[in-house]
Amino acid sequence: MSRDPVPDPIAQREPSPSRPTPPRRKSKKKKTSSTTKKSRGWGPFQSVLKERSVDFNLTLDVQNLQQQVRDLITLRDVLSTRSMLQRHSPNGSLFHVVKEYFHVFRTGWAVQESGRKRLVGEQHQRQFLHSVMDPEVDVDNGLRGPDVMAEQIIMYSTFIKFIRTTLQSYDIVAADDSIVIKTHARLRFQVLRKTIEKIFPHVIGDECLVAQLVGQEVEPAIGLTFFFNSDGKCCRYEMDMDFVGAFASIVKDPVKLEILLGRALIAENCMFGVLKEPRYPQIQAGTLLESALEDERSRLVGELEKLRNCTKSDAGVLHGPSVFVPTKVTHIHNDALFQRIVDDYYLVFENGYRSTDNQEHVQTDFISQIFVPSGMEDPHKGGKYVQTRWRVLCECFDVLEFKQTSVSSIEYNDQEDMCVIRSRASYTLQLTLRSLELVFPHVLSNRSLVIALAGSLIVVPSQLMFTIETETGLVAHVEERMDFVGAIAALLQNREAVSFVMSQAQLSLDGVSCFSPYPVTPILSSPPPQLRREKWQRVLTYRKSAQLARAQ
């Protein structure tokens, strides 16, 4: 029998309206690690206030750093200005001038070429030189001025193929009122055919050496030194180049290297040409002669004392020849005096007759001192004739060099109180268009000959005879014979061309024919060799034909 379940009295109880039913409590769940409370701030501050405080402080720090940067920039500008005022510093204004010089002439002079417009660059370079150089900048060899520097840079750019100049190091020396900046650089250039013609003309005949040189590139070390005055202008410019080291890498034979550089047309301060610094720039020629006479006088006095002592000790020995001994001794000691006069003549006219005031004054004074006074001399052989002959020769040719090659013995003529000194010399002349117009006008119609002659160098051998008075020590006259035929023949190497050039040339045995109004006689007492005599005969024939042509 089944029983019904007994009802729960609590469950059957009806809810009382006065007692509310309590809410059920929710079961608490454990928080997982993934559910975290989101912070109201950012970063570690966990607060907006802290965040704002840190942001404000950082803003102040940034502003402070910006102010420090501005202060450092101002300090840098002040220091830079101060260094510019200090001209001798590496950042000074004068060193900037030197660096700009290397930049402007890094590839040489901007020579204007056909088809290329580079005149603006040339003007800029010339303006730069005149702006940084003193108007009287000293470039050595007695030359001054920015134009001389420009001319030398142009020669370097045309005689050689100028590639580049690279500045490597420098030294700065500060003095009281001047700054010296010495730079060390490298110059890279290529040897051209024109380099041989203009700088080494003496090796043109050596085709093997010429072929060895032409086309080669060298990079010698150079040194440029700038001397700045108190006005910030360059008052002196010096250049040094290692030519020996440059060409030694090409010419291995030391003998050929000596031949190449021994007679190169490179003067002091690495200047191209044959400009040479005068050996006695401040000494007058008369002073040299006066000093020589004083030396000879002292020597003669000493010899006279010796002769007197010999006479006292042994009067019989010198009784017979006593008249001739002093004369012989005098001749021996006068040889040095007369030879010195000849040497001074070559020294004074070693570069021809110069039109500069200082050089012309020295040459004029020298002629007035060593030649017999005006009025007593032969008008066609004396001092005035020599001076005028030199002036006309230098007007017709560019006389690059006049040097003595050999000297013969001195001959005395006691009956006429004269001595004769024969000497051999050579002229290095450059033919210009003016030379062709004045001396070879008939060649101007032949274009090929004009191209071959204009700008060429010729070496003219010459013979000189100095006649000197033994009593006064003054030069009575100078006779000279120049071998233009041989010089032109060596240049053209074509008999027909030489004959045509010399047929109507305004030349004589001693220079330019229009200047030689007197008949000349041979210098040599003995007949010259057959070849030499034929040469002189051809010259006389050319001169006669030229005179006949002018007469017609």
HEC assignment per residue over 46-58: CCHHHHHHHHHHH
Do residues 419 and 411 make contact, with C-beta atoms less than 8 angstroms apart?
Answer: yes
Give the pLDDT of residue 537: 57
Do residues 198 and 159 make contact, with C-beta atoms less than 8 angstroms apart?
Answer: yes
Q: How confident is the model at residue 278 (pLDDT cuts 50, 70, 90)?
A: very low
Q: Which amino acid is at 315?
A: A
Angstrom distance (rounded) from CA 188 to CA 168: 13
State mean pLDDT over 359-386.
Answer: 74
State mean pLDDT over 523-537.
Answer: 44
Q: How confident is the model at residue 173 (pLDDT cuts 50, 70, 90)?
A: confident
Task: Measure the CA dihedral 436/437/440/443, to 10°.
Answer: 80
The gap between the terminal CA atoms of the chain, to the nearest Å, is 187
Q: Which amino acid is at 255?
A: V
Given a cut of 80, is residue 208 above it in pLDDT? yes
State mean pLDDT over 362-389.
Answer: 76
Give the pLDDT of residue 276: 47
Angstrom distance (rounded) from CA 100 to CA 127: 13
Which one is the CATH code of 93-270: 3.30.365.10, 1.10.357.10, 3.90.1310.10, 3.10.450.50? 3.10.450.50
Given a cut of 90, is residue 141 above it in pLDDT? no
Tokens of 53: 């405080």
Given a cut of 80, is residue 17 above it in pLDDT? no
Give the pLDDT of residue 46: 62
Give the pLDDT of residue 185: 94
CA 289, 424, 486 angle in degrees (round to 5)? 145
Instruction: Provide CATH 3.10.450.50 ranges for the chain.
Output: 93-270, 285-551
Angstrom distance (rounded) from CA 360 to CA 284: 11
Report which of 234, 66, 17 is spatially closest to residue 146, judged by C-alpha positions: 234
Compare 91 and 51 and report the one with higher pLDDT.
Answer: 51
Given a cut of 70, is residue 418 above it in pLDDT? yes
Give pLDDT tens digits for 67-87: 999 989 988 877 766 655 555
State mean pLDDT over 400-427.
Answer: 84
Angstrom distance (rounded) from CA 479 to CA 382: 9
Secondary-structure class of domain 285-551 per CATH: alpha beta
Percentage of residues in the chain with pLDDT exceeding 90? Answer: 15
Give the pLDDT of residue 286: 44
Tokens of 21: 């039913």
Given a cut of 50, is residue 524 above it in pLDDT? no
Given a cut of 90, is residue 183 above it in pLDDT? yes
Give pLDDT tens digits for 20-37: 555 565 555 555 555 555
Angstrom distance (rounded) from CA 297 to CA 308: 17
Give the pLDDT of residue 189: 92
- Give the residues across from 463 on adjacent strands: 424, 481
Which of 322-336, 386-400, 436-450, 470-484 is least confident? 322-336
Other Cβ atoms within 10 Å of 369 Cβ, number: 19
* Close Cβ partners of 294 (under 8 Å, ≥ 6 residues apart): none
Which of 7-21, 46-60, 235-249 is least confident? 7-21
Give the pLDDT of residue 121: 77
Compare 306 and 338 and report the one with higher pLDDT.
Answer: 338
Q: What is the 3-state secondary structure (H, E, C) of 426-475?
A: EEEEECCHHHHHHCCHHHCCCHHHHHHHCCCEEEEEEEEEEEEECCCCCE
At residue 266, the 3 state secondary structure works out as strand
Q: How confident is the model at residue 294 (pLDDT cuts 50, 70, 90)?
A: low
